[in-house]
């Protein structure tokens, strides 16, 4: 079976999992959470196998391959989150997006080869990948929190609202993820300072500056939560701002360099 066929299978499983999770949210019957998460788990395993199998265990960090890798990690973390705090709507958003990014990498992206990296850079990349993935889930939760608060304010008690955890639990999970992501982002900056030799020569100065700005935004949010009890709209806005800056840091520069200037990011 070719890589494209395995990709098609994973994409189908991701979409089926999202459909199973969306069924109760749309008032379509009994929850299918366990079955849906099982399908998503199989999709993640196949997806990971594709990413490793394409380059015999090496990791490709070119634009489309990196997006697919991040999506795979985010989906895996979404499964872990749902094992402790069931949030079906999280999978409804994450799994179709992962399917889309996997399809882009498998069917639309040009063939690329992984770059040779020493262990220090691999450590830095791994921590950065985890930081981005955890904060990505926090951003999705922030959007769900905003929808939840708006629905409660306007007394719109639909299936989506009833399927979400209580507002306080969603908010607690959001800040736990931000705290974990902030710690990982801190480690990302530290390992980058220790192991990356030439920021200007490696086209990394923009990523570094934007990553520091994102770190400051998330740090301010956590401090405001601890010192002033920030929550609600303030928490949502700062989370999305921080994630937007981090998205530019991780993929904005890479997109410009690789897709427009045709250089290695």
Whether the per-residue pLDDT at 58 is higher than 80: the answer is no
Give the residue-averaged pLDDT of 168-179: 92
Whether the per-residue pLDDT at 158 is higher than 80: the answer is no
pLDDT at 39: 95
Give the residue-averaged pLDDT of 118-142: 91
Alpha-carbon span 19 to 237, nearest angstrom: 29
Cα–Cα distances in angstroms (integers) from residue 133 to residues 29, 78, 129, 249, in the given order = 32, 10, 6, 14
The burial class, CB within 10 Å (0-12 / 13-18 / 19+), for 31 is middle
Whether the per-residue pLDDT at 261 is higher than 80: the answer is no
Of the pLDDT bands very low, low, confident and very high (cuts 50, 70, 90), residue 259 is: low
Whether the per-residue pLDDT at 31 is higher than 80: the answer is no
Alpha-carbon span 4 to 10, nearest angstrom: 10
Is residue 259 a contact partner of residue 64, using CB atoms and an 8 Å limit? no
pLDDT at 97: 96
pLDDT digits (tens, 9 = 90+) for 222-233: 999 999 888 888
pLDDT at 163: 64
Residue 60, both tokens:
């490709």
Residue 81, both tokens:
């989150």
pLDDT digits (tens, 9 = 90+) for 238-258: 999 999 999 998 887 777 766
Residue 85, both tokens:
């705090």
Whether the per-residue pLDDT at 41 is higher than 70: the answer is yes
The contacts of residue 103 (CB under 8 Å, 6+ apart) are 7, 11
Cα–Cα distances in angstroms (integers) from residue 218 to residues 39, 77, 175, 206, in the given order = 33, 20, 10, 18
Give whichever of 12-16, 26-30, 115-119, 120-124 has the largest mean pLDDT: 12-16
Give the residue-averaged pLDDT of 179-196: 90
Of the pLDDT bands very low, low, confident and very high (cuts 50, 70, 90), residue 20 is: confident
């Amino acid at each position: 079976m070719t890589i494209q066929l395995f990709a098609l299978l994973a994409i189908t499983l991701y979409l089926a999992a999202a459909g199973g999770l969306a069924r109760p949210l749309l008032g379509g019957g009994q929850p299918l959470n366990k079955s849906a998460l099982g399908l998503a788990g199989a999709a993640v395993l196949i997806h990971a196998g594709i990413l490793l199998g394409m380059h015999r265990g090496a990791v490709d960090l070119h634009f489309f391959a990196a997006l697919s890798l991040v999506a795979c990690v985010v989906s895996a973390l979404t499964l872990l989150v749902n094992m402790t705090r069931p949030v079906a709507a999280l999978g409804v958003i994450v799994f179709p997006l992962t399917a889309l990014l996997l399809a882009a990498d498998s069917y639309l992206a040009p063939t690329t080869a992984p770059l040779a990296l020493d262990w220090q850079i691999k450590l830095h990349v791994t921590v950065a990948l985890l930081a981005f993935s955890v904060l990505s889930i926090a951003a999705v939760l922030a959007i769900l929190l905003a929808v939840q608060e708006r629905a409660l304010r306007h007394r719109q008690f639909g299936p989506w609202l009833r399927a979400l955890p209580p507002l306080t639990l969603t908010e607690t999970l959001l800040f736990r993820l931000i705290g974990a992501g902030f710690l990982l982002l801190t480690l990302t900056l530290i390992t980058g300072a220790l192991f990356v030799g030439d920021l200007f020569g490696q086209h990394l100065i923009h990523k570094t500056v934007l990553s520091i700005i994102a770190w400051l935004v998330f740090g301010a949010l956590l401090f405001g939560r601890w010192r002033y009890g920030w929550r609600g709209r303030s928490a949502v806005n700062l989370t999305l701002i921080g994630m937007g800056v981090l998205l530019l840091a991780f993929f904005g520069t890479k997109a410009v360099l690789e897709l427009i200037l045709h250089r290695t990011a």
